[in-house]
Structure 1
């Protein structure tokens, strides 16, 4: 698949980039995508939720009513889970939600996500650029020139550039990531995928195995 390389003004530079069919042209595997996205979201969870159980509630341990003869159910102290203000039965406890996935499966999921974007014609290749200072207005102007400002976009850089990242940080519909950190969730979450010219080669080296 060949794409024209455009500059930040949206003008054709006359150069073309060939996207490797082994990365951008495979038959997508939906189950691999599901597992990789599930792992990504699970890894974002802090797992610090906690509720107090019966033994952790601060309250008197005095038996409220006698065991028999009251005409009702047996009842212990005021910390009982059946009473308002009592402890919680089988409540959440701090835990780690992370789980392992094989590297080959994760690569398959990411290539599947990239292939979906290629099939949707949602990939734009722009020549390499950088900012000397953070400029959100200039980033918005570039997105408008590339005709990707109306929907959520993911800009993939070949290397880290803090000024470009800071320029897009306050925009709800824009994310910036470097090619080596690309993941299935971010690719699918974006409607338009903007690749810098040099990031294409990095993606090919990343998935060549």
Structure 2
């Protein structure tokens, strides 16, 4: 698949780039995508939820009513879960939600996500650019020139660039990452994927490593 390389003004530079079919042209594996996204979201969870159980609530341990003969349900002390203000039965405890996923599955998931974007023609390749200062207005102008400002935007750079990152930080529908940070959830969550010319080489290198 060939794509034209644009400049930051949205003009065609006359050069083209061929997307690697081994990455952007595979048959997407939906189950691999599901597992990778599930792991990504699970890793975002803090797992610090906690509710007090019966032994952790302060209160008298005196038995409130007799065991039998009262006509109602039996109950123990005032910390009983059946009473208002009592403990919670089998409440949440702090836990780790992360789980292991094989590297080959994660790689297949990222390739599948990129293949989906290629099929949807939602990939734009732009020549390498730099920003002399963090300017949100300038970043918005670039997005409008590339005609990708109407959807969620993911810009992939070959390496960290603080000026570009800071320019997009205040925009709710834009995100800037490096090619080494590329993940399945980020790709699928974006409506348009903007790849710089050099980032394509880094992506191919990472997948072939």
Q: Shorter-chain TM-score category?
A: over 0.9
Measure, in 2, the Cα distance between the counterparts of 1:162 and 1:81.
53
Measure, in 2, the Cα distance between the counterparts of 1:128 and 1:196.
5
Measure, in 1, the Cα distance between the counterparts of 2:156 and 2:67.
69
CA deviation digits over 1:44-73, x for unaligned, max 9?
000000000000111111111122232222
In the alignment, which residue of structure 2 is the partner of 1:66? 66
Q: CA deviation at 1:200?
A: 0.3
TM-score normalised according to structure 1 size:
0.98
Structure 2: tracts of 5 or more residues without a match: none
TM-score normalised according to structure 2 size:
0.98
| 1:110 correspondence with 2:78 | no
Give 3-state SS (helix, strand or coil) of 1:207's partner. Answer: helix
Measure, in 2, the Cα distance between the counterparts of 1:71 and 1:105.
60
In the alignment, which residue of structure 2 is the partner of 1:174? 174
1:19-38 matched pairs, under 5 angstroms: 19-38=19-38
**Which 10-residue stretch deviates more, 60-69 or 185-194?**
60-69
The RMSD of aligned alpha carbons is 0.8
Measure, in 1, the Cα distance between the counterparts of 2:114 and 2:164.
23
| 1:126 correspondence with 2:126 | yes
Give 3-state SS (helix, strand or coil) of 2:194's partner. Answer: strand
In the alignment, which residue of structure 2 is the partner of 1:183? 183
Measure, in 2, the Cα distance between the counterparts of 1:109 and 1:188.
11
| Number of aligned residue pairs | 209
Q: CA deviation at 1:130?
A: 1.6
Q: CA deviation at 1:91?
A: 0.5
Measure, in 1, the Cα distance between the counterparts of 2:4 and 2:69.
87
Measure, in 2, the Cα distance between the counterparts of 1:75 and 1:28.
57
Measure, in 1, the Cα distance between the counterparts of 2:192 and 2:36.
20
Q: CA deviation at 1:81?
A: 0.5
1:27-176 matched pairs, under 5 angstroms: 27-176=27-176
- The runs of 4+ residues in structure 1 deviating greater than 3 Å are none
